[in-house]
Amino acid sequence: MNVLDKIVAEKRKEVAAQKALFSIDQLTKMPDFDRSGISTAQRLKSSVLPGIISEFKRQSPSKGVINDRVDVMKVAKGYCEAGASAISILTDEPFFGGTIEDLQRARPHVTCPILRKDFIIDEYQIYKTKAIGADLMLLIAAILTKEEIAHFTKVAHDLGLEVLLEIHNEEEFRQGYIPEVDILGVNNRDLKRFKTTIQNSIDLSEILPKEQLKISESGISTTKDMAELIAVGYKGFLIGEQFMKHDDPAAELKKFMTEELV
């Protein structure tokens, strides 16, 4: 089994356990379930600065522990104040060291939209995403069928959530893309081998729909990287490790956003 297969197998067990403890009906009664969402898509489209979705991520299967010393509430608030278009919070615990509680703790302290970054494989997780206060959810084409992507997108939209569909290669785009998604993300990290290069986004830009709002994810470490990606049609960037490897991730984001695009 590759890393992605292991994550999905563990996720199926996790979701089954959550369903047994807390029903969808109970989720719909949680305080944040009825809150109005904040549109990440609109913020990216209207941003005059490079649109950055800054990520809170303690660890990853490829890098191990990145930063387990900082507080999610402080980092999320700092990201938002520094000008992030949105904040991404990992909620997978076994592989990324994140929790549902991380997102719930951050929510009351930020006015930015929040992306729940997790491995969605079941409709139940969409209701959970809404209930914990997220505005945007991730769907990974590599682990879903096109029918699942279409169904999950409709459920999300019905609940007032936006959808970020993530692809890694042309095959995933051909087999999983639907125009109904709000944002299309190209992940520059191969989730099976964990090799990263922004050339992946550049190459795929030639076949992606021009009218689709697109972001590039992973491996973006300089404003030169962003300039190259903007030139081929990307409107936003999901960046995590570049900021999280420092003691003050929000300060690094602020510094990054003031650097001139070259």
Binned at pLDDT 50, 70 and 90, residue 49 comes out as: confident
Q: Which residues are catalytic?
A: 55, 57, 117, 166, 187, 217-218
The answer, as to whether pTM is greater than 0.85, is yes
Instruction: Write the pLDDT tens digit of every residue in 203-254.
Output: 999 999 999 999 999 999 999 999 999 999 999 999 999 999 999 999 999 9
pLDDT of the residue at 245: 95
Say yes or no to pLDDT of 257 above 80: yes
Binned at pLDDT 50, 70 and 90, residue 114 comes out as: very high
Instruction: Write the pLDDT tens digit of every residue in 18-41.
Output: 999 999 999 999 999 999 999 999
Instruction: Write the pLDDT tens digit of every residue in 3-15.
Output: 889 999 999 999 9
Share of the chain above pLDDT 90, in %: 90
Q: Which residues contact 26 (CB under 8 A, 6 or more apart)?
A: none
pLDDT of the residue at 191: 61
pLDDT of the residue at 195: 78
Q: Which residues contact 193 (CB under 8 A, 6 or more apart)?
A: 2
Say yes or no to pLDDT of 193 above 70: no
Computed from CA positions of residues 235, 247, 260, 77, in that sequence, does the dihedral angle turn out positive or negative? positive
Position of tokens 């999950």? 152
Asked which of 19-23, 38-42, 49-53, 68-72 is least confident by mean pLDDT, the reply is 49-53
pLDDT of the residue at 194: 64
pLDDT of the residue at 61: 86
> What string of H, E and C letters represents the secondary structure of the chain?
CCHHHHHHHHHHHHHHHHHHHCCHHHHCCCHHHHCCCCCHHHHHHHCCCCEEEEEECCEECCCEECCCCCCHHHHHHHHHHHCCCEEEEECCCCCCCCCHHHHHHHHHHCCCCEEEECCCCCHHHHHHHHHCCCCEEEEEHHHCCHHHHHHHHHHHHHCCCEEEEEECCHHHHHHHCCCCCCEEEEECECCCCCCECCHHHHHHCCCCCCCCCEEEECCCCCHHHHHHHHHCCCCEEEECHHHHCCCCHHHHHHHHHHCCCC
pLDDT of the residue at 258: 87
Q: In DSSP terms, which residues pair with 163 in a beta bridge?
A: 137
Say yes or no to pLDDT of 190 above 80: no
